[in-house]
Chain A
Amino acid sequence: GAVVSQHPSWVICKSGTSVKIECRSLDFQATTMFWYRQFPKQSLMLMATSNEGSKATYEQGVEKDKFLINHASLTLSTLTVTSAHPEDSSFYICSATEQGHEQYFGPGTRLTVT
C-alpha cells in the first residue's frame, strides 16, 4: 500500500521557538494532504487541508499564522508550529490522499514544548 512518512517522529523544543514537521507521500502523488492533532484517548481533530500549489484551508479555531502549512509539491507538505507554547504539545498526524480515495496516514509526530 501507499506509504506516508513524517519527520521528525518526536521533537522537544523550548517555548517561543518554531518547529517544522514534514509529511511525505513516498510512492504516490497526493493531491490533498491533511493535518490533524490527536489528543490522548480522543479522535482526530482536523487542523487544515492543503492542496498542492494553493493555500491551505484551515478549520475554524485553528490559527493560520501559528500553524503554517506549505504544500509545495505533490509529495511534500510541511507544518510549522511558530512560537510554540506548552499548550501546543500534542501528537500531530498528517495524511495524504488522491481525491476521494482513502487516506494514508503518517506515523505521527509527538511535539513536546517545554
Chain B
Amino acid sequence: AQSVSQHNHHVILSEAASLELGCNYSYGGTVNLFWYVQYPGQHLQLLLKYFSGDPLVKGIKGFEAEFIKSKFSFNLRKPSVQWSDTAEYFCAALDNSGGSYIPTFGRGTSLIVHP
C-alpha cells in the first residue's frame, strides 16, 4: 500500500526564515502529488500540485515544491515565511495508474511562525 511520510511534525520559525518541509511517498509508479494547507479555523485548500512536466512547481503565496523522482520526494519550500503562513501542511500522493484515484495523506506538519 502507498504511504506518505512527512518528517517534520512541528516546525517553529521566525518571520523571514526559509522553510522546507519534507515529504516522501512510497509508490514507484505514476503518482500525482499535492500539498494542502489548513489555516487555523479554515478548511483544507490546495497549495500546489504536480502531475507531470517541470518538476519544480510553483504554488500560491510564494510556495514551491520540487518533485525528485529518484528520491521519491516532493518537498515544500518557501524562501521567506510570514506570520500568516502559520498553519497545518499536508502532503498527499495519488496513485494514477490503477484507476482507483484514492489519495494518501501524510500526517501533517504544524508550522508556527513567530512575528
| Interface residue ranges, A against B (CB under 8 Å) | 1, 32, 34, 41-44, 46, 49, 93, 95, 97, 99-100, 102-108
User: Does B43 reach chain A (CB closer than 8 Å)?
Assistant: yes
Residues of B within 8 A of A95 (CB): 44
Given contacts A105-B43, A105-B44, contact A44 B102 (CB under 8 A): no
Given contacts A42-B108, A44-B105, A100-B101, contact A93 B44 (CB under 8 A): yes
A108 engages B43 (CB within 8 Å): yes
In Å, the complex CA distance between A81 and B99 comes to 29
In Å, the complex CA distance between A32 and B101 comes to 9
In Å, the complex CA distance between A109 and B110 comes to 21
User: Does B25 reach chain A (CB closer than 8 Å)?
Assistant: no
B1 to chain A, nearest CB (A): 10
B7-48 CB mask vs A (1 if < 8 Å, else 0) is: 000000000000000000000000010101000001111100
User: Does B90 reach chain A (CB closer than 8 Å)?
Assistant: yes
Residues of A within 8 A of B105 (CB): 43-44, 46
The answer, among A1, A41, A93, A100, for a CB contact under 8 Å with B94, is A100
Size range of the chain B interface in the assembly: 20 to 34
Known: A100-B32, A102-B49, A105-B36. 20 other contacts (CB 8 A): A1-B46, A32-B101, A34-B102, A43-B90, A43-B105, A43-B106, A43-B107, A43-B108, A44-B105, A46-B102, A46-B103, A93-B43, A97-B101, A100-B101, A103-B34, A103-B36, A103-B44, A105-B43, A105-B44, A107-B43
Ordered by A's residue number, 18 sampled pairs between the chains whose C-beta atoms are within 8 Å are A1-B46, A34-B102, A42-B107, A42-B108, A43-B90, A43-B105, A43-B107, A46-B105, A97-B101, A99-B101, A102-B46, A102-B49, A103-B36, A104-B46, A105-B36, A105-B44, A106-B43, A107-B42
Which chain A residue lies CB-closest to B103? A103
Residues of A within 8 A of B82 (CB): none
Residues of A within 8 A of B45 (CB): 105
User: Does B75 reach chain A (CB closer than 8 Å)?
Assistant: no
A-B interface, 9 closest residue pairs, ranked by CB to CB distance from nearest: A105-B44, A43-B107, A107-B43, A43-B108, A102-B46, A105-B43, A44-B105, A99-B101, A100-B101
